[in-house]
Amino acid sequence: MDRLVSDFLMFVATIDPVGTLALFVGLTAGLAPAQRNRVAFRAIAYAAVILVAFIGVGQILLGSLGIRLEAFQLAGGIIFFLFGVQMVFGVGAGATGTAPEPGHDVAVFPLAVPSIASPGSILAAVVLTDNRQFSLLDQAMTTGLLLAVLALTLVFLLLANRIYAWIGNAGAMLMVKVLGLILAALAVEMILGAGSDLLREMHPPAG
């Protein structure tokens, strides 16, 4: 249960529904409600396909490149920590501030990528479904948690204007900073765990 809660919080912090909400409101302000809802559904669908694909083949890809998962996890912990620091002192991992290019679907860019399926959430999807540590059932449960966070993000997007009007800019920034603190703490745990595994691998106990 502790691991499931930790995984859920990691996905919440890296997907950053609040930061995505703020970006969504700005990008779809001129659209009709029905168009806004369609953009929300498409963005979540695209992001889900990308993240689930990385759960399925991400570790195989790392193995083909000769990258140990401990090293990837250590690098991921450092990146997560930097994301957390950015969320606390900056604008949040999800709020990229990137304007969509002319002729591009905003549901694909920048909503699905890089806001929802961000480098942090892709990294979390790979690290939290380590084939050597977790059974297929564990990985299926983690995938379910990912889809639950995406469903939560979809609810946020469908209620975007109402939620944003209610919490305001100050409330949104406060929530992003709290998520940043949580992400930084989880990142430290990940760094310590990966560092310990690498040290044991480099210096196995005698006997």
Range of the domain at 30: 2-199
Query: Does pLDDT of 92 surpass 60?
Result: no
Per-residue pLDDT, 45: 98
What's the rounded Cα separation, in Å, for the pair 121 and 79?
11
Phi (first) and psi of residue 99, to 5 degrees: -85, 140
- For residue 205, is it within any domain? no
Peptide bond into 33 cis (omega under 30): no
- For residue 68, is it within any domain? yes
Domain CATH for 158? 1.20.1250
Residue 157 · residue 41 · CB < 8 Å:
no
What's the rounded Cα separation, in Å, for the pair 142 and 8?
8
- For residue 159, is it within any domain? yes
Per-residue pLDDT, 97: 43
Query: Does pLDDT of 128 surpass 80?
Result: yes
Q: Does the predicted TM-score (pTM) go above 0.85? A: no
The encoded tokens of residue 65 equal: 């490149």
- For residue 206, is it within any domain? no
- For residue 30, is it within any domain? yes
Query: Does pLDDT of 195 surpass 90?
Result: no
Share of the chain above pLDDT 70, in %: 92
Instruction: For 13-67, write each residue's pLDDT tens digit.
Output: 899 898 788 778 877 877 888 999 999 999 999 999 999 999 998 878 877 888 7
Domain count, the chain: 1
- For residue 97, is it within any domain? yes
Indicate the range of 43-52, 116-125, 143-152 predicted with least confidence.
116-125
Confidence of residue 140 (pLDDT cuts 50, 70, 90): very high
- For residue 207, is it within any domain? no
